[in-house]
Amino acid sequence: MLHLKKDMKSILNIFILFGLLSCSNGLNEKDKTEFADIATKEFEEEYHPEGATDNIFREIVLYETKIDSLDLPFPEKDMLSEIQNQFKPYTAERKIGEQDGPNYEYIEILRENKQVAFFDFNWENSNQLEEIRITNSAASDQYGVRVGDSYKELKIKRPQDFKNSTNYHQHTYLYSDDSNIYYELTGDFSLTSEMIENIEDLKLTEQQLSTWKVEYILWRLKN
């Protein structure tokens, strides 16, 4: 309802703007021009206020062999400046990640301080790309899959036979042997002690996954 009211207001003001312009016939050419400039400026400020950025953030797309126009994997060099230039007006920042083992470097992509994606680098070689992780629906993969998509939506957008695996941390992944792009899924499911003892053999069924959603979209080069 709020959006409808806003749209009606926009349409009404467009008519008002043109009405005011048409009523300026009694003015000389200079005054007409000034009147039109003022009316247009006020209209632009109303519907495109300073600081509004919704229309300037293009969609980031992850492909099998590139992200946007950057080829994957990256060359083994410091990629921060190239990533910053590629993804403007998104912000790219280098961070230090913590894990069970040694710390590692990653580059985070932010949209107005909200994480959209990040690039993980090898802890022994900070210039060697390990993994890309899409964490926000502002980005998608080449198949049109987004974070938040249901398992059913994923299968419609990417109809192929997938395998799945679950680790001891109860993270479940959906993958294909011939693809660099895979998905971490989340859903209402608890591992039994028997399942944990045989975690390598655990394969969830279509029925078990049917209500799950895409939590992350990931890229890792297949060896």
Do residues 113 and 124 lie in contact, with contact meaning Cβ atoms separated by under 8 Å? no
- Identify whether residues 39 and 72 lie together within a single domain: no
- Identify whether residues 10 and 43 lie together within a single domain: yes
List the pLDDT tens digit at each of the 223 positions of the chain: 434 444 444 444 544 444 544 554 555 555 545 544 554 444 444 444 444 444 589 999 999 999 999 999 999 999 999 999 999 999 999 999 887 778 899 999 999 999 999 999 999 999 999 999 999 999 999 999 999 999 999 999 999 999 999 988 889 999 999 999 999 999 987 777 887 788 888 899 999 999 999 999 999 998 7
- Identify whether residues 32 and 117 lie together within a single domain: no
Say if 60 falls within a structural domain.
Answer: no
Residue 41, amino acid: K
- Identify whether residues 39 and 85 lie together within a single domain: no
- Identify whether residues 33 and 131 lie together within a single domain: no
- Identify whether residues 109 and 180 lie together within a single domain: yes
Say if 88 falls within a structural domain.
Answer: yes
Say if 164 falls within a structural domain.
Answer: yes
- Identify whether residues 37 and 140 lie together within a single domain: no
Q: What is the pTM of this model?
A: 0.73
- Identify whether residues 122 and 36 lie together within a single domain: no
Asked if the peptide bond before residue 75 counts as cis, ω within 30 degrees of 0, the response is: no
Q: What is the CATH number of the domain that holds 177?
A: 2.60.460.10
Say if 53 falls within a structural domain.
Answer: no
Total residue length of the chain: 223
- Identify whether residues 37 and 107 lie together within a single domain: no
Do residues 140 and 154 lie in contact, with contact meaning Cβ atoms separated by under 8 Å? no
Q: What is the DSSP string of 25-75?
A: GGS-HHHHHHHHHHHHHHHHHHHS-TT--TTT-PPEEE-SSEETTEESSPP
Say if 59 falls within a structural domain.
Answer: no
3-state secondary structure of 206: helix
Do residues 149 and 157 lie in contact, with contact meaning Cβ atoms separated by under 8 Å? yes
- Identify whether residues 113 and 22 lie together within a single domain: no
Q: What is the total count of domains within the chain?
A: 2
Say if 58 falls within a structural domain.
Answer: no
- Identify whether residues 151 and 206 lie together within a single domain: yes
Say if 150 falls within a structural domain.
Answer: yes
- Identify whether residues 81 and 40 lie together within a single domain: no
Range of the domain at 19: 2-47
